[in-house]
């Protein structure tokens, strides 16, 4: 009986020393939502961490909710052992016609290769946050108007420059044509004499 207890204690100590500490941090969470306005796009980083252990970890990332507004640069990342700086860029784009707040859920699962080419799923975590819609700031509205009127003004200037160029070019072409006709007439008169 004492041997079994000793064996159980040794196994517990052995398992306790092989700690697996994979984690993720996010700039947004349930009580710290992302606030955006319709038409806005932002890129933020999730931070994968592999603090303890000597093995690299492969993490597979998937957008569970909000896939229509959240895009991942890629879905698999290798997190080096004893690092805390593997960044996962996520791009959140709110359509201009959006009127409702959204919920985003991203799942991160560690993946390990097993015997015979089998793939085993390991630790799983979720990042969840809300995207709260707000009105377009006045500054952005003014910038959009300035860009619109600036673009219209630039188009008018280009159009006027083309008209001016063509108007200047046309009299020269007419003048050249008249000179060419005169030269042809003179030549034809000489030939007929």
- Give the predicted TM-score (pTM) of the model: 0.59
| 9 located within any domain | no
Q: What is the pLDDT of residue 16?
A: 46
Q: What is the pLDDT of residue 17?
A: 43
| C-alpha closest to that of 71 among 113, 34, 37, 43 | 43
| 8 located within any domain | no
Q: What is the pLDDT of residue 70?
A: 97
Q: What is the pLDDT of residue 182?
A: 77
Same domain, 111 and 156: no
Same domain, 50 and 121: yes
Same domain, 119 and 147: no
Cα separation values, 124 from 6, 15, 79, 109, Å: 33, 20, 14, 4
Task: List the chain pLDDT tens, one digit each, 193 residues.
Answer: 666 666 556 555 554 444 457 889 999 999 999 999 999 999 999 999 988 778 888 999 999 999 999 999 999 999 998 888 999 999 999 999 999 999 999 999 988 765 555 555 677 899 999 999 998 766 666 666 666 677 787 888 888 888 777 766 656 666 777 777 777 777 777 666 6
Same domain, 113 and 124: yes
| 71 located within any domain | yes
Same domain, 142 and 99: no
Return d(Cα 105, Cα 122) in angstroms, integer. 19
Domains in the chain, number: 2
Same domain, 108 and 62: yes
Q: What is the pLDDT of residue 9?
A: 63
Same domain, 130 and 150: no
Return d(Cα 110, Cα 75) in angstroms, integer. 12
Same domain, 148 and 126: no
Q: What is the pLDDT of residue 18?
A: 44
Residue 147 structural domain: 137-193
The tally of CA atoms less than 13 A away on the side-chain side of residue 171 is 4
Are 35 and 132 in contact by the 8 Å Cβ rule? The answer is: yes
For the stretch 98-102, contacts whose Cβ atoms lie closer than 8 Å and that sit 24 or more positions apart, written own/partner, are 98/38, 98/133, 99/38, 99/133, 100/133, 101/130, 101/131, 101/132, 101/133, 102/66, 102/69, 102/130, 102/131, 102/133
Same domain, 26 and 102: yes
């Amino acid at each position: 009986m004492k041997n079994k207890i000793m064996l159980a204690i040794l196994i517990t100590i052995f398992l306790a020393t092989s700690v697996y500490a994979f984690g993720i941090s996010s700039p947004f969470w349930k009580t710290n939502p992302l606030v955006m306005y319709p038409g806005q796009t932002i890129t933020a980083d999730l931070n994968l961490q592999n603090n303890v252990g000597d093995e690299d970890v492969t993490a597979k990332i998937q957008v569970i909710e909000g896939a229509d507004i959240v895009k991942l640069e890629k879905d698999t990342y290798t997190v080096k052992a004893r690092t805390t700086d593997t960044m996962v860029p996520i791009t959140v784009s709110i359509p201009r016609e959006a009127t409702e707040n959204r919920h985003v859920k991203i799942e991160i699962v560690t993946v390990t290769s097993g015997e015979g080419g089998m793939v085993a799923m390991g630790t799983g975590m979720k990042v969840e946050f809300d995207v709260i819609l707000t009105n377009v700031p006045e500054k952005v509205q003014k910038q959009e108007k300035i860009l619109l009127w600036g673009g219209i003004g630039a188009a008018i200037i280009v159009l006027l420059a083309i008209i001016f160029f063509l108007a200047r070019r046309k009299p020269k072409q007419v003048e050249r044509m008249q000179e060419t006709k005169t030269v042809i007439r003179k030549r034809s008169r000489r030939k007929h004499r």
